[in-house]
Structures are given as structure tokens and as C-alpha cells.
């Protein structure tokens, strides 16, 4: 069964909230740039995660339109991994230009350091890769009905 638009949206939201939330909580203190264990570092990483979630819904709608031109109406699995490039680049541009609301003072003006870029890159890449691996592999075992219901979780 191919994932439906509704199923892809549900899976994206579920995976970013659950896995993204846990991974962000675990790796934020270890990101470059002296993030450490403070509320501003968690605020920044969770705001970025929320931005990825909101923009991801828009991206899914765009991908759905593009997929309608494909014979099987779906992406090859590798495309799901490669879409991290355009999605991550957009979120970084918003972050770097200070366009993500709610950022702490100093990060809301834009022109961020290279340490901020690497912190973003590591955080985004780890979350994306773990979610991609889990969704395309082990998730299909405990959630066997997920496959047969077009990727819907609810």
C-alpha cells in the first residue's frame, strides 16, 4: 500500500513530535557553540523543530502535487532522504535571517556564526536520518497496520 497524503502528514507529525522531541532533548547539550544545559539552547532547538514540522506540512502538500505526475504516485525511498536538503536549507535560511519567531535575543537578528550552522546541521541531520531509518525499516514491524492503512497512524 502506498502512503496517502493523510498518512504521510500523520506520520511526519508523529515522528517529528515523538522522535524529534526525544532526539532534540538528548543531543541539544552536546551541540557545538556552547549550547550546554540551558533553557535558551532548548528553546532554539525546539523552535527549529517546530519550524521543520510546520514547513513540513507545506512541503508534503507540494510533494503530493509533484507525485501526481509519477506513475506510481509515490517517491522512491531515497527521495525521502534527499528531500532533507531542500527542507533543511529553507529552515536554515529562515533561522540565519532571523525569521523564526520566538528566538532569544542575539539569535533573532540573523547572521549567525559557523558554530550555529554546525549545531543546526548536526541537530537537523541526526533527527532526519533517525526518522528516515525508523520509518523505512523497524516501524513496519510493530506498526504493521500502518503499512496497510496508507501510512495513517490514527
Write down the pTM of the prediction.
Answer: 0.88
Comparing 72 with 138, the larger pLDDT belongs to 138
Write down the mean pLDDT value for the chain.
Answer: 86
User: What was the pLDDT predicted at 51?
Assistant: 96
Q: Where are the domains of the chain?
A: 5-148
Closest CA to 45 of 63, 59, 62, 26: 26
Closest CA to 45 of 15, 22, 14, 61: 22
Kindly report, residue by residue over 96-116, the tens digit of the pLDDT.
888 888 888 777 666 677 888
User: What was the pLDDT predicted at 84?
Assistant: 94
Rounded distance between C-alpha atoms, residue 77 and residue 132, angstroms: 9
> What is the DSSP secondary structure assignment for residue 1, as one 8-state letter?
-
Amino acid at each position: 500500500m502506498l502512503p496517502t497524503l493523510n498518512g504521510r502528514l500523520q506520520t511526519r507529525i508523529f515522528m517529528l513530535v515523538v522522535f524529534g522531541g526525544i532526539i532534540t532533548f538528548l543531543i541539544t547539550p552536546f551541540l557545538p557553540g556552547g549550547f550546554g544545559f540551558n533553557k535558551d539552547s532548548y528553546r532554539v532547538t525546539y523552535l527549529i523543530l517546530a519550524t521543520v514540522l510546520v514547513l513540513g506540512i507545506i512541503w508534503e502538500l507540494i510533494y503530493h502535487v509533484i507525485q501526481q505526475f509519477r506513475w506510481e504516485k509515490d517517491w522512491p525511498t531515497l527521495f525521502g532522504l534527499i528531500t532533507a536538503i531542500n527542507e533543511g536549507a529553507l529552515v536554515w535560511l529562515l533561522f540565519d535571517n532571523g525569521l523564526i519567531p520566538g528566538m532569544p535575543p542575539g539569535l533573532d537578528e540573523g547572521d549567525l556564526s559557523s558554530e550555529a550552522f554546525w549545531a543546526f546541521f548536526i541537530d537537523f541531520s541526526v533527527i532526519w536520518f533517525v526518522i528516515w531509518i525508523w520509518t523505512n525499516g523497524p516501524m513496519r514491524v510493530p506498526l504493521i497496520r500502518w503499512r496497510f492503512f496508507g501510512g495513517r497512524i490514527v
